Amino acid sequence: MKVLKFGGTSVGSAESIRAVTDIIGSQSDQVVAVFSAMSGTTDRLEEALLKASGGDSSYSSVLDEIEHRHLSEAGKLLNATDLSEFSHNISGLIMRLRNILEGIFRIGEVTRRSSDMVLSYGELMSLELMHAVLSERLDNVSLADSREMIFTRILNGDERLDYHTSEEAIIRTLPRDKRVVVMAGFIATSAKGYPSTLGRGGSDFSAAVIASAAGASSLEIWTDVSGIYTASPAIAEDAFPIGKLSYAEAQEICHFGAKVLYPLAIQPVMLKQIPILIKNTFAPDDKGTLISKGSSGNGGAVKAVTSIDNICLVSLTGGGMAGVVGIASRLFMALAKHNINAILITQASSEQSICIAINQKDGERACEAIDGEFESEIDAGRVRPALLEKGFSIVAIVGEGMKYSVGVSGQAFSALGRNGVNIHAIAQGSSELNISVVVRGSDVRKAVNSIHQEFFSAVNKVINIFLAGTGNVGSALVEQILKRAGYFVSEYKTEFRIIGIANSRKMLVRSEGISGPEWKSLVMESGRSTDLEVFKEEMFSLNLPNTIFV
């Protein structure tokens, strides 16, 4: 069984829904399909919430627009009978939503509970549509209610996934005899039995929990890009999809700003070593990104450059901090008590300052929490009140190979320096999976692009050649490749590497390449007796990218 999750853009129009139907229809295994709300719907519901709680009755027209969009896309997909049933169901959902928002409008207040209740309607409506479309086109389609399978509980004042309760419920209730099971992502039930959600972008998480609990063979995340890119495609034009990533690398990339996959979604499937495939609904033949155990092994030390915006820096400084044990732990306890997440931490070795990067929206609260904790030290003049600076971004470079290669951070910093980007703080995780720098928000594009170009555009493309036959033509080809190597590198950033040569008597395969003017005698002296079947097998087992057999 496979779990396939389709994001907002994948279910956002009649055309993309047709593509989703084809993808699901072409699967040979049992499929559990998890759907997000239509793209933009959750944002519109948040807008309606804000309007209603602020006493603005135009929340009602937001609902009209949402209803209209669902009906209009359904109109392009469903036959008359199904469309009339679908319209009836959508009107029912919109009516209930209107009632809840009217209550919020009258009270003038939103709670986490009422907000989750409203936001959950986006997924309820898209599920209604996907169920109707898939049932019309495919056999044996059944609906499952994720609110009976995904549970949350309060942790640090917030609704968080309750994995064990969810796992038990999924094992108990997920239908196993249907070819296609359709479910809503994002929505869940709280410990008290109220509607809750897994947070924005959380449909990936729903799918991951189902895949993990049900022991799926794989989790496929179908979205609007062809995988996890070397940088956000919206920021770096020359970013490209990464073929393979380890779970740890993917976690790091997604924690540090790549919105393409909800970072918490990796853990549950990693525990069971279920592979994750990120695929493009709009280009289903593209390979996508495979996330699995172990590192990819190919490519450079740096896998991706990511960024997080809307960051502020909070610093605690003072002569009275040096050598005093427990300052840092008190600071982090104070933040934890107020449920504030520190994204990056640096401490100068003089121990006279600690600087943390946090979400900008938490800035004032963080300063209050810190000033409260250090009240007596501040009164005594040993530390200064927390300093808040806004308008920053974090840029991170991620890759498992960084711990084996020297000079990665130097290369990144000099690229930033050459491009005039000022670095305000630096941190390297002890896992050496990640080096992060804090830059001005206005510099983030330049910073991501200059680091990206430094590590990715400078890399020569390697073409690997296997050659059978070193008569006149074969030998002339080898001579030309070797002679013009410099030209191809400087003109085309392309390196031709001759990996294998076979003639009627000897054959030689070297993964690092065969080069130098003595190549012919090298093959004759170091080579083995020719067996073209073995030569071919070795070529396939090396499995190098960009291979040409001549």
Q: Which residues bind ligand ASP (CB under 6 A)?
A: 7-8, 36-37, 42, 122, 185-186, 200-203
Question: What's the 3-state SS for 46-65?
Answer: HHHHHHHHCCCCCHHHHHHH
Instruction: Write the CB contacts of 54 (distance below 8 Å, at least 6 apart in sequence).
Output: 108
Sites for Mg ion among residues 2-41 (CB under 5 A): 7
How many residues contact ligand ADP, by CB under 6 A? 19
CB 5 within 8 A of CB 211: no
Of 41 and 190, CB closest to ligand ADP:
41
Rounded CA gap, 443 and 420, in Å?
Answer: 9
Burial class (CB in 10 A: 0-12, 13-18, 19+), 483: exposed
Beta bridge partners, 244, equal: 290
List the one residue from 12, 122, 195, 201 that touches Mg ion (CB under 5 A): 201
Which pair of tokens denotes residue 391? 């308008």
> Does residue 153 contact residue 160 with C-beta atoms inside 8 Å?
yes
Which of ligand ASP, Mg ion, ligand ADP, none has residue 229 at its interface (CB below 5 to 8 Å by kind)? ligand ADP
**Closest C-alpha among 51, 58, 86, 47 to residue 70:** 86
Angle, to 10 degrees, between the axis of helix 59-75 and the axis of helix 80-107? 170
SS3 state at 141 = strand
Report residue 533 as tokens. 């079947």
Contacted entry of ligand ASP, ligand ADP, Mg ion, none for residue 137, CB cut-off 5 to 8 Å set by kind? none
CA nearest 353: which of 312, 320, 390, 391? 320
Smallest distance, ligand ASP to C-beta of residue 209, A: 13
Q: Binding pattern to ligand ADP, positions 9-38, x when CB under 6 A?
A: xx-------------------------x--
Stretch of 56-64, 133-141, 256-264, 334-342 lying at the interface with ligand ADP (CB under 6 A): 256-264
Binding site partner of 202, from ligand ASP, Mg ion, ligand ADP, none, Cβ cut-off 5-8 A by kind: ligand ASP
Query: Residue holding tokens 């904790």?
Result: 373
Is the CB of 225 or the CB of 340 nearer to ligand ADP?
225
Q: Which does 200 bind (CB under 5 to 8 A by kind): ligand ASP, ligand ADP, Mg ion, none?
A: ligand ASP
Helix spans in 362-484 (H): 363-373, 375-379, 408-418, 444-452, 472-483
Which of ligand ASP, Mg ion, ligand ADP, none has residue 189 at its interface (CB below 5 to 8 Å by kind)? none
Residues 295-314 close enough to bind ligand ADP by CB under 6 A: 304
> DSSP labels for 32-50?
EEEE-PSTTHHHHHHHHHH
**Taking the CB of residue 549, how many other CB atoms lie within 10 A of it?**
12
Residue 43 CB, nearest approach to ligand ADP (Å)? 11
If contact means CB under 5 to 8 A according to the sort of partner, which of Mg ion, ligand ASP, ligand ADP, none does residue 224 touch? ligand ADP
264 is written with which tokens? 């918490």
Of these, 8, 363, 399, 527, which contacts ligand ADP (CB under 6 A)?
8
Residue 122 binding: pick among ligand ADP, ligand ASP, Mg ion, none (C-beta 5-8 Å cut-off by kind):
ligand ASP
C-alpha gyration radius of the chain: 28
Cα separation of 27 and 33, whole Å? 11
Kindly report the backbone phi and psi dihedral angles of residue 448, in degrees, each rounded to the nearest multiple of 5, phi listed first: -60, -45
186 interface partner picked from ligand ASP, ligand ADP, Mg ion, none, CB below 5 to 8 A per type: ligand ASP
Q: In terms of CB distance, is 260 or 321 closer to Mg ion?
A: 260
Please state, as a whole number, how many other Cβ atoms lie within 10 Å of the Cβ of residue 166: 23
Structure tokens at 84: 């009339």
Give me the least distance between CB of 236 and ligand ADP, in Å please.
9
Which member of 4, 7, 152, 270 binds ligand ADP (CB under 6 A)?
7
Strand partners, 462: 495
Considering CB distances under 5 to 8 angstroms, the limit depending on partner class, which of ligand ASP, ligand ADP, Mg ion, none binds residue 37?
A: ligand ASP
**Nearest distance from C-beta of residue 203 to ligand ASP, angstroms:** 3
Q: Applying CB under 6 A, does 233 fall inside the site for ligand ADP?
A: yes
* Ordered strands of the 304-317 beta sheet: 342-347, 353-359, 304-317, 387-398, 434-440, 425-428
**Shortest separation between residue 480's beta carbon and ligand ASP, angstroms:** 53
Q: Between residue 191 and residue 210, which ones bind ligand ADP under the rule CB under 6 A?
A: 201
Spatial contact of 335 and 368, defined as CB atoms under 8 Å apart: no
To ligand ASP, the closest distance from the beta carbon of 539 in angstroms equals 43
Tell me the closest approach of the beta carbon of residue 452 to ligand ADP, in angstroms: 10
The entry of Mg ion, ligand ADP, ligand ASP, none that residue 151 binds, CB within 5 to 8 Å by partner kind? none
Chain residues binding ligand ADP by CB under 6 A are 7-10, 36, 201, 223-225, 228-229, 231-234, 258-260, 304
Chain residues binding Mg ion by CB under 5 A are 7, 201
